[in-house]
Amino acid sequence: MDTPKKISEIQTAAVVISSIIGVGVLPLPLFAVKAGNTAAPIVTLIGITISLFALLIITKLGMTHPTKTIIGYSEEILGKWLARFCNIIVILFFALLTGLGAREFGAVVITAILRETPIEVTVIVMLLLAAITSRNDLNIFAYIHTFYLPVILSPVVIIVVLSLKNANFLYLQPLLGGDMGDMFKGSLTIAALCQWSFVLTIIIPSMLQPKRAMKACTAGLLIAGVILFMLVVASLAVFGAEETKKLLWPTLELARTTSLPGNILQRLDVVFLAVWVTAVFTTLFSGYTFTCYALTGIFRLSDHKIFSFSLLPIIFLFSMLPGNLLQMYKTIEVVGRMGLILTIVYPCLLLVIDVIRRKRGKRSAAAKT
Amino acid sequence: MSLFRKNRKKLKTSPQEQNGNEKTKLSSDLQDSITYINELLGKNDDFVYRDFYIFGSIPAYLCYFSEQANPSEINTDILKPLMYPPEHIQKNLPDESKLVDVIIKEVLYQSRVKTETKWDVLIDNLFLGDTIILIQGQDVGLQLGTRKLKERSIDEPRTELVVLGPREGFVEQLGTNIGLLRYRLPIPDLVIQTTKIGKLTKTKVAVCYIKGITNPELVKEVEDRLSKIEFDSVLDSGIIEQFIEDNPYSPFPQIQTTERPDRVVGNLIEGRVAILTQGSPFALLLPTVFSQFYQTTEDYTNRFLMGNFIRIIRVMALVFSLIFPSLYVSFIAFNPELLPTEFAVAVSGGRAGVPFPAVIEVLVIEVAMEILREATVRLPQQVGGALSIVGVLIIGQAAVEAGFASPVTVVVIALATIGSFATPVYTAAFALRMLRFPILMLAGLFGLYGVVIGAILILNHMLSLQSFGVPYMSPVSPPDKEGMKDVVVRGPLWKMKNRPGFLQAQDKNRVGAKTQELRDRRRVPGPVDEGK
């Protein structure tokens, strides 16, 4: 019997949400507050708007080429060799991003739960999980993202709701303020946290109705954006701008300040972190799958499975590049912002060239007749 | 490999086929046929045959297997009318060309009569209890359905008990089982097609579905997979299950087995296919999704709230049985700070005398529990009671007193084990019990992190499974609106208007308009209101 082999809009939205909400959520309020002090919510909003713009561009590109992934249509637009060169850089960037994401979460885990475990072990476990799962096809990729969505969303909502008890809304004022340049840089960093949604470029061709991708992507990004925004507001309201700057993972601290009524468990942060493994997994899974499928596209292979394990050592190597936690966050910020060139400017260029070529094509076709 | 090849050679030279190759069609010479059949079967003590004269003049031969057929029926309904035919025939004997026709239409008191010209079909049916009559001068044999096998009476199903609901279970005889289905579904659209599978056992396997509801592609796929089974023995439906399931290496059952006719009928109506096997009281239901494994027929026959309450309890028990021990280990060994202080003190007090790490302690008790469980199943019932007392005393009391395990550990393992017994489908409960061990190991290595990693691995595997083209975790993912009404909590019967979408049934509607009306009104007017 035929399965519903295609990805629906709800599933696409779920992929966007669960790809974006990942390990980046933990230091997010810190990034926002560092850039804009009490204007952190505004910074977050600008960041989300930027990433919405980026997402709309890749969705538009995908909708005009509904049967091709970014690998396919970029070669059509730019020509074979130039496109290949760009795509390889994009793939390298996502391999690096996946590696750094795994490293970041590994660092969180050894700080909060497993204090005596070497970081290599936690990182490799996470990467193995993504590698094993990436052997499945894109339908199952969508099933997995959809299934875990409630698990990913509920802890954030619970944390935000429970932290209202300790919130002081005076901390949120003044709404504006802070250096404009810093704020813009900060919002770029936040937009960089959302670039996991780039995985859409390989999802759209497998959609049931690629024409409806725009609605699904917008909805997905808006939901994810609301979640991120709520987190920034909550941690700012609970800790205040100055205190937040001293915390490495404000979201985790937020979880630590909350407790369940009835005193069933003494602390909640560890439980939240454990549940968060799921969120981190889906994010890494997106990055890993993108890398695998993009490579398959470049080499014109029919099966992506050979890459799922052969990529593992390379990504692991990437994840071990930064020496310590501080270096790691510097690398993540820099790499993330550089990546925006690849995930925003590159698709923009593709779109512009594509539109121009189409118009010309029409004109020349009109001239011929 | 060499072993398999030998087997195959043996099969090829089985006596039946050898003879079948020599002789395929009946000859009209009776003596010839008698020598052939006696040579083939005459050695068997339960093979009964006799020569007689039809209408007192035409030589004929009758044979059957005494334990498979019903001798009194043969004597009174077949032999007697043949030897003492109705008067009009006796006066006016039919000529040779019309003889068989006359015998079937005017003489025999038997409804199941067939003519057959092929030896192998005749002999196959002879083994199944049919009686065969060969007549001088005719190149067809008569095959009469006189089958009578001793069978168990219809009993309450042993593996799926319900409090409120039908008490009938399937038996080993395929015919009886089909009857149990037919009287619950007295419609012409219930299609039951039988095939024979198994080179040596020639087991009858029946594929049942409802025409107009079940997706024809699904039926085709099932028939296709069944037709490709070439195996020497099919002793139970479990063997068929292993050949047709999608992923034989997965711990999760992808086909549901059930003993309950009402469950089969309920699933047929939802648009599934059922496979019944001769000699097995278990029917196979497919395609299967995971949510079926914690649902029972009682959930639907009970009232809305009660049914749902019990189902939620069952889901909790299922989760308990899978991760409770590993959660305990990771709390004790890695994050005792999570527990409320008083409880943490109590736990560590209990563990003070235990020399092993928590994982080892839990593992040992778990293994002991599994051994106990298996032993209780295998032992005769009279001894079983004694064993469980010993088990409870040794595992519960003495192990704690000996400093072998802490009391909390025993409580935790007991909860998990009882939880696994609350899962209504045996095969699924088994899968979860098995998966408890790897998660436990992960908990011992990485604490809570390990438990979550293990759970994600298992869930990912389940999400990637399929049963006959239907994703295993549907209707949750991929989401299906109609199916969602019956996952953890079921909607009221009249609110589940359509059949679950993941089965791609042809006729989707379940509830009639009048019922909608009845239930949509908030207050049904009583007789007093109507009188006005």
Spatial distance between the Cα atoms of B209 and B222, rounded to a whole number of angstroms: 11
Q: What is the mean pLDDT of residues A230-240?
A: 92
Spatial distance between the Cα atoms of A278 and A276, rounded to a whole number of angstroms: 5
Band of the pLDDT at A32, cuts 50, 70, 90? Answer: very high
| Tokens at A77, concatenated | 């637009």
Q: Which residues of B touch A140 (CB under 8 A)?
A: 463-464
| Amino acid B30: pLDDT | 87
pLDDT > 70? residue B20: no
| Residue B291 distance to chain A (closest CA, Å) | 14
Domain span at A328? 9-355
Q: What is the mean pLDDT of residues B401-420?
A: 87
Domain count, chain A: 1
Spatial distance between the Cα atoms of A184 and A346, rounded to a whole number of angstroms: 20
**A140–B463 CB contact, under 8 Å:** yes
By the CB < 8 Å criterion, does B333 face chain A?
no
Spatial distance between the Cα atoms of A233 and B190, rounded to a whole number of angstroms: 61
Band of the pLDDT at A301, cuts 50, 70, 90? Answer: confident
**B473–A275 CB contact, under 8 Å:** no
Q: Residue A89, SS3?
A: helix
**B452–A275 CB contact, under 8 Å:** yes
| Tokens at A142, concatenated | 């969508």
| Residue B218 distance to chain A (closest CA, Å) | 5
pLDDT digits (tens, 9 = 90+) for B173-213: 998 999 999 999 999 999 999 999 998 988 999 999 999 99
| Tokens at B271, concatenated | 């648009």
- Whether residue A362 lies inside any domain: the answer is no
pLDDT digits (tens, 9 = 90+) for A249-299: 999 888 888 777 777 777 778 888 888 899 999 999 999 999 999 999 998
Rg of chain B on CA atoms, in Å: 31
**Cβ proximity of B487 and B476 under 8 Å:** yes
| Residue A262 distance to chain B (closest CA, Å) | 10
| Amino acid B521: pLDDT | 66
**Sequence spans of domains, chain B:** 16-144, 174-288, 301-470
Domain holding A229: CATH number? Answer: 1.20.1740.10
**DSSP β-bridge partners for residue B284:** B257, B275
By the CB < 8 Å criterion, does B332 face chain A?
no
pLDDT > 50? residue B3: no
Q: What is the mean pLDDT of residues B484-508?
A: 85
| Amino acid A19: pLDDT | 94
For A136, the closest chain B residue by CA position comes to B464
CA-closest candidate to residue A291, choices A316, A308, A313: A308
Question: Is there a cis peptide before residue B475, judged by omega within 30 degrees of 0?
Answer: yes
Residues constituting chain B: 532
Q: Which residues of A touch B464 (CB under 8 A)?
A: 133, 136, 140, 143-144
| Residue A359 distance to chain B (closest CA, Å) | 40
* A interface with B, Cβ–Cβ below 8 Å: 1-4, 8, 10-11, 109, 113-114, 117, 122, 125, 129, 132-133, 136, 139-140, 142-144, 146-148, 263-267, 270-271, 273-275, 277-278, 281
Q: How many CA atoms does the CB half-sphere of A213 hold within 13 Å?
A: 30
- Whether residue A262 lies inside any domain: the answer is yes
Across B198-272, the runs of DSSP E, i.e. the strands, are 203-210, 256-258
CB interface of B with A, residues 291-310, below 8 Å: none
Alpha carbon B437 to its chain centroid, in Å, reads 28
**B338–A266 CB contact, under 8 Å:** yes
By the CB < 8 Å criterion, does B250 face chain A?
no
**B449–A114 CB contact, under 8 Å:** yes
Give the DSSP per-residue string, B135-164.
ETT-S-EEEE--B----PPP---SSS--SS
Nearest Cβ partner for A129 among B218, B456, B464: B456
This prediction has a pTM of 0.88
Nearest Cβ partner for A3 among B340, B460, B469: B469
**Cβ proximity of B483 and B502 under 8 Å:** yes
Spatial distance between the Cα atoms of A193 and A198, rounded to a whole number of angstroms: 11
pLDDT digits (tens, 9 = 90+) for B54-109: 888 889 999 999 888 888 888 888 888 888 888 888 777 888 888 888 888 888 88
**A266–B477 CB contact, under 8 Å:** no
Cα angle: B451, vertex B250, A310; to 5 degrees:
75
pLDDT > 50? residue A169: yes
